[in-house]
Structure 1
Amino acid sequence: MTGYPDQYLGKYKTILASSPIYIGGLVLLVATATPAAIRAGASMGGLVSSMILIGIGTGGLKACIAPMCGEQNTEKGQHVETLETGETVLVDHDLTTARIFMWYYWAANVGSLSSLLTVEIENHKGFWLAYLVPLLVFLVVLAVFVGFNHKIKKSRPQGSPILDATRALMIGFKEKSFDKAKPSSLRARERLHRYKFAQEERYTDLYVEQVKSGLLACKYFLLFPFYFICWTQIFNNLISQAGSMKLGGTPNDLMQNLETIFMLSFIPILDLMIYPALRKAGISFNPILRIFVGFMCAALGMVYACVLQYFIYHRPENSIPVWIQAPSYVFGALSEIFVIVTGLEVAFLKAPDNLRAFVSSIFWITIALGAAIGIALAPVSQDPYMVWTYAGLAIGAFVAGCVFFVCFRHSISGEVPLTVGLEAAEEPSFNGPGAAGSDPLSGKVA
């Protein structure tokens, strides 16, 4: 489904097409979680079937929603604007896009707090009623989405971008360079006639540069699975760790909500206070640096969990208060903001217009890869090996972050701009929320 939004349907229609599949999975989940279905032995089959439907629906939704949010920012490059206060500012497209993704992710995680409600519902009423909550919420949100469709800026499907990009990649491979694959270079070296696709009108120097840009965007995500292995610990091993601590009446599966609460608090602080302060100080906290810091935060979170697990093993059972675990979630929240939000931002800005949903889906696939690696590590992710498990994850995140920084640090100096388009020659290289001289208001640069 990753190519359909760009190729056939467009992002808006793909969201509409994926929603019934997602709703069908939720309906099946609710129906097979009722007491009658459980007594009839239908719950396991229903759970598996609903997870498949929900997974398919989620794939279509996640690949489209984030890039569609970014596309609502239609202003390109930079332009001067006068505010109502009389202040003159410079509006920057990339800074505005960065802020869009920050608040998109903030809004998405507000929904994560629903688990505070659903856990209590499950404890007192049963699973079926807990599953009914997201179903009803999604139906309401979908109705609002459709109702306001006339205010949503929609991109049209653009033929066969994946096939065309593959052809461009093949030409680049045969010519051993993207620069040599450009039609101007092929024509100068009298090699244009060798490639039928290169002779088509849409095959331009700019198009080849855009395909190169999209490929580089995917390269940024190669090391992300090492981060997501650590990130998924919030939803499994850290819950188990909390269960071995002194709960004081607090359900251990509620602890993961600390990470969401911290993140919902940190995003406004970063966007409204920290990033503007960095800009005024002339400090560039660009995407590469943010992602690197995110990896380091993930590593620190695992180091803290490792040390805490050591004390759990060497203290009387259930003697350490569960709230001592909170710093792991602080590091997790910071890492999520720096890695995931920035990853969405890079996937949008780095990809050519007709491949944004595809590149975004590649980013989300890295989460699945991280989860799969986590499952493979399950035999050692249990007592009495958890100290070594957390230590190994910390080392993995640290090494992956360092490798990422070394491989892509050239982007910091602006040698490889993160935006490629018609206005690329006029735009400065992408520096993100830490760009010097920027104002916190909607990407406005003072």
Structure 2
Amino acid sequence: MPDQGFEIDEDGEIRIEPTEEDWKTLREVSDSIPKAAYLVILVEFCERFTYYDPAELPGAMGKGQQTATALTTFFQFWCYVTPIIGAVIADQYWGKYKTILIFACIYFVGLIVLTLTSIPSAIASGATFPGFIVAIIIIGLGTGGIKANVSPLVAEQYKNTKPFVKTIKPKLSSKFAADEGDLPVHNSVANKGDVRVIVTPQATYQKLFNMFYWGINCGSLAAVVTVILEKNFGFWPAYLLPTLVFIPGILIVFAGKKLYVRNPPRGSIFLEVFKVIRLSFKYGLEGCKPSVLQKEHPEVAKNATWDDVFIDELRRTFRACVVFCWYPIYWLCYSQMTNNMVSMTATMQTGDVPNDIMQNINPLTLVIVIPIMDKFFYPGLRRLGIHFGPMARITCGFFFAAIAMGYAAGIQAYIYSQGPYYEYPTGNGKNDVSAGLIVPAYIFIAISEIFASITGLEYAYRKAPEKMKSLVMAVFLFMNCFGSILGFTLVSVAVDPKLLWMYAGISIAMGICAPLFYFCHGKNDKSDIAEDAIGRSRHTEVVDEYEAEAKPAF
């Protein structure tokens, strides 16, 4: 057996590197999650508690449903543009922690404006509408600074970057029990029956982002409470509650300063990025390396302010961003849940339940299913030796989104087949169809998020260079804007009786994209295995070798 390398971590624990034989015979498990990461997740819970759709208020402002829809669309678009601003500031000037803290304060100012302009006297004086516009602009800016940086900050709390072998005492429970529940023992004192496993960063980041998304959706369930408050007590209590909940979020960020792993900003890199991109059209990306320029174009090399490693990192960034280009159609599917499907339930029999509460089935499903996936499904696949890589997971997410839209099309057809209003229920009344029939569509969308949205966050972090973590995350979030643009193009068919064909068309488009996506990017899962197996210290060498075989566009 070849000698195994080892290293001693900062806690004095010996970590043994897995051999090639270990990778073939041992299963992968995730490491324990640092406590500081849970603090950041708690901050995100408080932020999500306040982030519900504040634009659907035609009754309070007296501007009508069309204005409310326009404001909703603008708010969603603005919230996914501003992360670019937050990412640039964090990566270049302030760092993630300071950026989150300052933008959280900006967010809080917007919440105060929103609350004060929703009180009865403000509504009576006509201050609500202009105050509302100002509030959503401020809140959207605050959201951008937080959204682009909070998930990378969560991931940065886990500092181990190399896989290592661990010996655990197996549980007596099901063979598919959670990896993290096993008891670790030192390899030198392993007893008969103890199991050796490989703790990998990939499995750990997967678990970490699952927990992060779980926190997001726990906060999203606040919409149930705020809708009830608005219905029974008015708008200002519905806004006051999230404003008060956000205060602990800011305090947690501030109080946990000494606990967080806080990587400093990397300095100005965007000027270099633009220069490299410009030169790449002439020399190719590989030709922009200073080592190559020095030989072939010395007059250009003397002005280069970057190194060869920067070019390799930029290539990795491009690879990640190419994957994200498939997401707009997915976000188009997702957005139906908060607009057209809400309108659909308004044409169905809901009893005493407000139709806009139905969309909370989605976060409720996620809160229930994410722990099951994390504790049983993913560990079970790893125990069976099945590598369910990021590209495969994203493909599954796309398929589930297509299924959700196909199911919605079937329900819409059924609504049109029932009286008393048949194909024209909108604006007339409710057809004799139970709203419970639409529940599976929300469940399918939730499952698609687990595979596509969570994995997208994980992939954006893991593939982004150290200098560009927030920026790559912002690019991933920015794809939601293009989903909104696609939604705008479908406004003309988002009316009865064309809704059936709209859902069907979206389902077909997503169903076609899913296999095409895997055909184009499925090979990336192989490089992920190589990355974990060989370690980050040799990752650049592996990626370059793999890309040479795959002949990528860049």
- TM-score normalised according to structure 1 size: 0.90
Aligned to 2:92: 7
Aligned to 1:167: 275
Q: CA RMSD of the aligned region, Å?
A: 2.1
Aligned to 1:250: 353
- Within a 5 Å distance, the mapping from 1:138-157 to structure 2 comes to 138-157=246-265
1:294 aligns with 2:413: no
Aligned to 1:412: 525
1:232 aligns with 2:317: no
Q: Which has the higher contact order (CA 8 A, sep 6+)?
A: 1
Aligned to 1:123: 231
Local SS of the residue matching 1:398: helix
Q: Would the aligned equivalents of 2:401 and 2:445 in 1 still touch at CA under 8 Å?
A: yes
Paired letter, 1:228: W
Aligned mate of 2:121, from 16, 23, 36:
36
Aligned to 1:336: 449
Residues 172-208 of structure 1: per-residue CA shift (max 9 Å, x gap): 33212x3333333334x4434423343x5xx333221
Paired letter, 1:11: K
1:272 aligns with 2:379: no
d(CA) in 1 for partners of 2:400 and 2:129?
A: 38
Q: Would the aligned equivalents of 1:76 and 1:93 in 2 still touch at CA under 8 Å?
A: yes
1:207 aligns with 2:310: yes
The alignment covers a number of residue pairs equal to 424
Paired letter, 1:326: V
Report the CA distance between 1:162 and its aligned residue. Answer: 2.0
d(CA) in 1 for partners of 2:472 and 2:250?
A: 25
Q: Would the aligned equivalents of 2:312 and 2:540 in 1 still touch at CA under 8 Å?
A: no
Q: Would the aligned equivalents of 1:349 and 1:418 in 2 still touch at CA under 8 Å?
A: no
Local SS of the residue matching 1:89: strand
Aligned to 2:21: none
Q: Would the aligned equivalents of 2:293 and 2:301 in 1 still touch at CA under 8 Å?
A: no
Paired letter, 2:301: Y
Paired letter, 2:165: V
Report the CA distance between 1:78 and its aligned residue. Answer: 1.2
1:424 aligns with 2:530: no
Q: Would the aligned equivalents of 1:175 and 1:181 in 2 still touch at CA under 8 Å?
A: yes
Q: Would the aligned equivalents of 1:210 and 1:421 in 2 still touch at CA under 8 Å?
A: no
Report the CA distance between 1:379 and its aligned residue. Answer: 2.2
d(CA) in 2 for partners of 1:291 and 1:402?
A: 11
Aligned mate of 1:100, from 208, 213, 222:
208
d(CA) in 2 for partners of 1:416 and 1:282?
A: 12
Q: Would the aligned equivalents of 2:114 and 2:131 in 1 still touch at CA under 8 Å?
A: yes
1:361 aligns with 2:474: yes
1:194 aligns with 2:300: yes
d(CA) in 2 for partners of 1:417 and 1:3?
A: 31
d(CA) in 2 for partners of 1:168 and 1:82?
A: 47
Report the CA distance between 1:85 and its aligned residue. Answer: 4.2
Local SS of the residue matching 2:527: coil
Moved more, 140-149 or 411-420: 411-420
Aligned to 1:68: 153
Residues 386-428 of structure 1: per-residue CA shift (max 9 Å, x gap): 1011011112212222332222122133389678954416989
Report the CA distance between 1:140 and its aligned residue. Answer: 1.1
Aligned to 2:506: 393
d(CA) in 2 for partners of 1:416 and 1:168?
A: 30
Over 3 Å counting, the alpha-carbon distance change for 1:151 and 1:197 in structure 2 is farther
Over 3 Å counting, the alpha-carbon distance change for 1:367 and 1:418 in structure 2 is farther
Local SS of the residue matching 1:324: helix
d(CA) in 2 for partners of 1:303 and 1:30?
A: 40
Residues 100-157 of structure 1: per-residue CA shift (max 9 Å, x gap): 1111010111000111111110000111110111111111111112111110001101
Over 3 Å counting, the alpha-carbon distance change for 1:73 and 1:197 in structure 2 is farther
Moved more, 403-412 or 219-228: 403-412
Aligned mate of 2:344, from 226, 241, 247:
241
Q: Would the aligned equivalents of 1:302 and 1:390 in 2 still touch at CA under 8 Å?
A: yes
Q: Would the aligned equivalents of 1:78 and 1:427 in 2 still touch at CA under 8 Å?
A: no
Local SS of the residue matching 1:163: helix
Report the CA distance between 1:56 and its aligned residue. Answer: 0.7
Aligned to 1:325: 438
Report the CA distance between 1:373 and its aligned residue. Answer: 2.2
- TM-score normalised according to structure 2 size: 0.73
